[in-house]
Every structure is written in structure tokens, then in C-alpha cells.
Amino acid sequence: MLGSWPSFDPHNFSQFKPNDPANPSKMTPVTYRPTHDRTLPPPDQVIAPEAKNILLRHFYQPAEEKLRSKRAPCDNPSPERASKLPRPSASDNSI
């Protein structure tokens, strides 16, 4: 349909072959390969969406930073989140 339109130079569009649905084009698109590896992602990279919005991330950030930097050297006074166990001396209310 498009091949027979008038054109300025009759040699333009001479190589044009309209798409024939019975005969699908065997051309594969050109693949671009990088010439260097400076921008390659790390092999084990996983990209996932962030569940928390940016404000919540800022709220969580100082807590996570402190935990990361202080966990190794000092002893953390809070116990790991253990399941609830009844304690015999539960009546003291000192911190």
C-alpha cells in the first residue's frame, strides 16, 4: 500500500518491502553491546521497589544507622524480641 506513493527521487524507497502478514520479517533488531564494562551492574544485584515511602525511610534511618554502627562494639541492653514468658518478679516497675 505504501510502496506506490510518489516520491521526489524514484530510487528512494526502492528497497522498501511492505509488511506481509503471511511472510513475517526475519530481521532481528540490531543489538547494542557495551564497549566497556565500567557501568555493568554487580552480578548479584536485585532491584526491588521500596515498600516504605520516603518520609518513613527518613524516620527509620537514624535508628538503623545507630544499630549498625553500635551493634558490634557495645552490648545491646534490649533483649532480642523474645516470645512472652511470664517472669516471677514481674511486680518491680523500675526501668
Partner 1 sequence: MFRSNNVTARIFERQISSPAPGTSVHCARRFYENIVPCHTIFDIECPDILFRKFSDDGQYLITFSRNHQDLVVYRPTWLSYSCREQDCPDHDLPSKANKFESFFTQLYSVTLACSGELICKDFFLYSEKNQFGIFASSTAQIHDAPAVGGAIQGIPSIEKITFHLVRLEDGVILDERVFCNDYINLAHSMGVFLYDDLVAIVSLRYQRIHILQIRDSGNLVDVRSIGEYCREDDELFLNSSTQCMSIPGRNRNHNVGNGPDHTNQMPEGSFLSGLKQRLLSFIFRGIWNEEDDPTMRMQCLKKKFYFHFQDYADLVIWKVARNTDNHPAFFAVYNMETTEIISFYQNSADELYTLFELFCDHFHSSSKNSFYMNFLSTHSNNIHALEQLRCNKNKASSLPQFVKKMLSTLPFNCQSQSPSPYFDHSLFRYDDKLISATDRHRQSTDHPIKFISRRQPNILKFKIKPGPESGNADTRTKKISSFLFHPILPLAISVQQTLFLQPAVVNIHFRR
Please state, in angstroms and rounded to a whole number, the distance separating the CA atoms of residues 87 and 7. 92
Q: Which is nearer to partner 1, 46 or 63 (CB)?
A: 63
- Stretch 42-81: interaction string toward partner 1, x if CB under 8 A: -----------xxxx-xxx-xx--xx--x--xx--xx---
Helices (H) and strands (E) in the chain, counts: 1, 0
Provide the grid cell at 43. 552480578
DSSP alpha helices (H): ranges in 1-95? Answer: 54-71
In the complex, the smallest distance separating the C-beta of residue 80 from partner 1, rounded to whole angstroms, is: 13
Owner of C-alpha cell 528497497: 15
Q: Which is nearer to partner 1, 29 or 49 (CB)?
A: 49
Binding residues vs partner 1 (CB under 8 A) = 53-56, 58-60, 62-63, 66-67, 70, 73-74, 77-78, 84, 86, 90-91, 93, 95
